[in-house]
Amino acid sequence: MGNLFQIYKRDLKGYFSSPIAYVVIGLFLIVTGIFFYLLLSSFLQYSYAMMMQRQNIPVNVNLMMIRPFFLNMSVIVLFVIPMITMRSFSEEKKSGTMELLLTSPLTNWQIILGKYLATFTLYFVMVMVTFLFMVFLFIWGKPGLGPILISYLGILLMGLVLIAVGNFISSLTENQIVAAVGTFGATMLLWVIGFAGDFAGKVFGELFKYLSIVNHFEDFSKGVFDTSHLVYYLSLTFIMLFFTYQSIESSKWRS
C-alpha cells in the first residue's frame, strides 16, 4: 500500500507542479461556464416570458437547466480526458523511467493503480470545481439537491472508465500525441456506437446501445440511480485496467 501511495503522490505532484492541471481545469471551467451561462439565460428568458403572460405553468429548473448542463458536460469530458491521460505511461517510456519502475520492487498493479488514482484525482478536482455553478442556482432558486448529486456521480463514474481507457492506450506508446489521439478515438467510439445501434438490427442494436458510455449516463442526468449502469461502468473500468496490466507485463518481456 505504501508503494502505491508513493506512485500516486509522485504522479499527482507531477500534474500540479506543472501547468497541465491548471490549464486543463481552467479550460474545462471556461467551456462548462459558457454552457451554464447560455442555459441560465435561456431559463431566465423563459421564466420571464411565462410571468409576463401570467401563465401559471411550473418552471422545472432540473429539467431545463441541470439535465442539459450535465449532458453537455458529459460530452466535454470526452474531449478533456485524452489531455490528462496521454502522459500517464507515455512520458515514462520516453524518458526511460518506465524501465526503472519495472525493475523496482513495485508490482504492476501498484504502478497501474497509483497512476490511475492520481489521474482520477485530477479529474475529480476538475469536475467538482463546477459545483460553484450549482451554488448560484441554490442562491437564486430551489433546484433539487438529489438529482444534482446523482448527476455528479454519473460524471465521475464515466471518468472512471475513460481514464482507464486513456491509461491503457498511453501504456501502448511512448508518444504522448499518439496516446491522446488514440484515447480520443476510443472515447468517440464509445460515444457514437450508441447511434450505430439504430441501424444494426435488433440483436446488435441492443448490444451497441448497451456499450455506449453516454447512453448509460442519461439516467444519471435525470437524477435516476440505476445499479445496472453502476455495474457497466465498474466492469468496463476493471476490464481496461486488466488490459493495462497485460500491456505492462508484455513490456517486461520485451525489455
Residue 27 belongs to what domain range? Answer: 2-254
Query: What amino acid is encoded at 211 in this protein?
Result: L
pLDDT of residue 193: 81
The residues, ordered by sequence, that sit 6+ positions from 203 with a Cβ below 8 Å of its Cβ are none
Q: How far apart are CA 116 and CA 119, in angstroms?
A: 5
Q: How far apart are CA 143 and CA 150, in angstroms?
A: 13
Q: How far apart are CA 214 and CA 208, in angstroms?
A: 12
pLDDT of residue 62: 72
Residue that is written with C-alpha cell 444519471 in the block: 220
Closest CA to 90 of 9, 18, 181: 181
The residue length of the chain stands at: 255
Contact 15/122 with Cβ under 8 angstroms?
A: yes
Contact 81/163 with Cβ under 8 angstroms?
A: yes
Closest CA to 87 of 78, 97, 77: 97
pLDDT of residue 255: 53
pLDDT of residue 144: 79
Residue that is written with C-alpha cell 422545472 in the block: 60
**Domain tally, the chain:** 1
Closest CA to 222 of 149, 137, 114: 149
pLDDT of residue 207: 80
Q: How far apart are CA 98 and CA 251, in angstroms?
A: 9
Return the axis-axis angle of helices 131-140 and 19-52, rounded to nearest 10°.
20
Q: How far is CA 135 from the centre of its chain?
A: 22
Per-residue pLDDT tens, the chain, 255 aa: give them.
678 888 898 888 888 888 888 999 999 999 999 999 888 888 777 666 666 666 665 566 677 788 889 999 999 998 999 999 988 888 888 887 877 777 778 888 988 999 999 999 999 999 999 998 888 877 776 777 888 999 999 999 999 999 999 999 999 988 899 999 999 999 988 888 877 666 666 767 778 778 888 888 888 988 888 899 999 999 999 999 999 999 888 876 655
pLDDT of residue 197: 64
Q: How far apart are CA 170 and CA 115, in angstroms?
A: 11
- Cα 7–88–119 angle (5° rounding)? 70
